[in-house]
Amino acid sequence: MGQILDGKIVAASLKEETAAEANKLRDNGVIPKLTIVRVGANPSDLSYERGALKRMEGCNIATEVKELPEDINQEDFIKALKEVNDDKTTHGILLFRPLPKQLDEEVIKYVIAPEKDVDCLSPTNVAKVMEGDKSGFAPCTPTAVMETLKYYNVDLKGAETVVLGRSMVVGKPVSMLLLGENATVTICHSRTKDLSSVTSKADVLVVGIGRAKMVTSEYVKEGAIVVDVGINVDENGKLCGDVDFDQCIEKASLITPVPGGVGSVTTSVLAKHVIKACKLQS
């Protein structure tokens, strides 16, 4: 039976480190600040926002929330975003997505200032992730996967890692980050033939495919490390991951739960990115 990779412990460790950095910056007269840009008041955005604000407070990072009307047009939105870009007191910008339909993310992603883009919306940061250039910002969730593996001293050099899912928020960027640690990386997905035979070769399996409890024990090698990025609601209305935790913990050596796994680490990564952005800008 495997051990749990506890996201709360990883988050607490990152928080401590980040708060110390924030205090150093404050001692030098710089107040690190995250500005959240939110269009409308979607309940899931509000829920994430509460968590993020609390985390920033815990890390001594200042915050501001810019709530924009749900029916804002493209021109006004871009004007508002540029104001945040130009605001010298703001070091990091988090923009909730998806945006309402009248706003074109394909245009907006070029507007956000890359040096403040702490969750990797800008193509400049996407390209840096692919290039393995650490001067940019990878998205918070794949970075949280890496921080979790790092905290638990998982040696990725030459490891056979398998990423299930190829999205731009999880699968592709986490693959690039794993490559950067010298892992061998296989990217598989819904079109992969004989999926469980591919995933069950993994020393480290990262799952972000968006299907509740899809990964059952036959997908997992005995002794594997399993990182579950999925967040779904099961048939009883309870949160669950893409991995069937109860089954897979029997085979895995280490496994993240949902909730309490990678999801607990993302706001700490966000805080760390704000500090990094603040240092780049000051």
Per rule CB under 8 A, is residue 176 in the interface with a second copy? Answer: yes
Residues 188-207 that bind a second copy (CB under 8 A): 188-189, 191-193, 198
* Position among 36, 185, 204, 209 found at the interface with a second copy (CB under 8 A): 185
Is residue 179 a contact point for a second copy (CB under 8 A)? yes
Quote the least distance from Cβ 133 to a second copy, whole Å: 9
Decide if residue 123 touches a second copy (CB under 8 A).
yes
Which of 76, 131, 155, 246 contacts a second copy by CB under 8 A? 131
Query: Binding residue per annotation — 51?
Result: no
Contacts with a second copy, 62-101, as mask; x by CB under 8 A: ----------------------------------------
CB 204 within 8 A of CB 224: yes
CB of 3 to a second copy, least distance (A): 24
Q: CB 95 → a second copy: shortest distance, Å?
A: 17
Per-residue three-class SS string for the chain: CCEECCHHHHHHHHHHHHHHHHHHHHHCCCCCEEEEEEECCCHHHHHHHHHHHHHHHHCCCEEEEEEECCCCCHHHHHHHHHHHHHCCCCCEEEECCCCCCCCCHHHHCCCCCHHHECCCCCHHHHHHHHHCCCCCCCCHHHHHHHHHHHHCCCCCCCCEEEEECCCCCCHHHHHHHHHHCCCEEEEECCCCCCHHHHHCCCCEEEECCCCCCCECHHHCCCCCEEEECCCEECCCCCEECCECHHHHCCCCCEECCCCCCHHHCHHHHHHHHHHHHHHHHC
Pick 64 or 160: Cβ nearer a second copy = 160
Nearer to a second copy, 219 or 245 (CB): 219
| Count of residues that interact with a second copy, criterion CB under 8 A | 30
Q: Which one of residues 63, 124, 256, 268 is an interface residue with a second copy (CB under 8 A)?
A: 124
Residue ranges binding a second copy (CB under 8 A):
110, 123-124, 126-131, 157-160, 166, 168, 172, 175-176, 179, 182, 184-189, 191-193, 198
